[in-house]
Chains A and B, each alone.
Chain A
Amino acid sequence: MQASEATPQPCVSLITGAASGIGRRLAQDLFAAGHSLILVDRDLNGLQSLTEPFPGRFTLVQHDFAQDTGLDEHISAAIEEQGRLSGLIHVAGVSHVSPLKALSRADLERVMAINTFSAFDLVKHCSKPRHHRPGMSVVFVSSIYSLVGSAANSAYAMSKAALNSLARSLAIELAPRCLRFNCVAPGFIRTEMLDALAQRMGPDYLAELERLHPLGLGRAEDVSNAIQFLLSDRARWITGSVLSVDGGFTAQ
């Protein structure tokens, strides 16, 4: 066996929303597993604090999906630096709690731009053969609200349900090229985003959320574990799926 055959090339994964919450935990786990990473977030300080222990194994891309342009060029340059992608994980997203009567078209378009159109732009660019390795696995972080209804969440639900459909369609379309597309649909997990929402909603909000999950609120590592499985060869025959990672929320 040649030395080059015995030495596997490190996997390269691109994660959006990597500075905090699920994306940050996933980045930490993939670094620990030996991946090189391309990390995208509007919070450059957050990305820098994450990557300090891993010199050379990352490329940072500061990008705000709500307003910035030019992501394709930055991603191409990052792939040039780190290597072609084995994994693409779109975690970046915003919540938007607003009843219909307070929800404007502009609000809806903003939520869709960050949560959904960004995913479309990413896969369109990264699915070009020169940007990925054979068998690249793509994972979108969707939501329980892509599967069940919730008052005052129509914009968010629309944006996440669209990810499910995008994954299913691309799973069929790009199966001949051995690309896999899946979603994870997390329930409520303790992140900064949830804590900020809880502050607005009142002292009983978190307790009520806990009650709605048979296994209690989740943790970022729970979702990271599921994503890592879908990225791995163990999920080689899984595509077009939406994996509920929700402590039983949608089983009720």
Chain B
Amino acid sequence: MKNYLERMAELLEVDQVSADDVLEDFECWDSLTVLSIIAYLDEAFKVTVSAEQVCQCRTVGELHARYAGV
């Protein structure tokens, strides 16, 4: 989870994030950020996720639980 949060902070362009942070509240939350997350999940967790599936997740933690949690 620690690595995930660090990487998500990079993609969301902030210094740090927590599991409870709401994704759409981030200033840089846009289609390119969603694409970045799709690419990250594919590379790090070998899961293929659509843009729609990413946007259905409300928080950073929910995204992890659905697609990156073991």
Contact = CB atoms under 8 A, between A and B. Distances in A.
B51 A102 contact: no
A97 interface: yes
Interface string B28-70: 0000110111111001000011111000000000000000000
A194 to B, nearest CB: 15
A202 B51 contact: yes
Contact of B50 (A97, A101, A103, A200): A200
Given A101-B10, A101-B13, A102-B11, A199 B33 contact: no
Query: Is chain A's binding surface mostly helix, strand, loop or mixed?
Result: loop
B51 A152 contact: no
Interface residues of A, number: 14
Contacts, number: 38
Contacts of B43: 107
Nearest to A97: B35
A171 B5 CA distance: 50
Given A151-B32, A152-B32, A98 B50 contact: no
Given A102-B11, A200-B48, A202-B51, A97 B39 contact: yes
B50 A99 contact: no
Contacts of B13: 101
A101 B11 CA distance: 6
A201 B32 contact: no
Interface residues of B, number: 17
A102 B36 contact: yes
Contacts of A202: 50-52
B68 to A, nearest CB: 15
Given A101-B11, A102-B11, A200 B36 contact: no
Interface of B: 10-11, 13, 32-33, 35-40, 43, 48-52
18 contacts: A97-B35, A99-B32, A99-B33, A99-B35, A101-B10, A101-B11, A101-B36, A102-B35, A102-B36, A102-B39, A107-B43, A152-B32, A152-B35, A199-B48, A200-B38, A200-B48, A202-B51, A202-B52
Interface of A: 97-99, 101-103, 107, 151-152, 199-203
- 3 tightest A-B CB contacts, nearest first: A102-B36, A99-B32, A102-B39
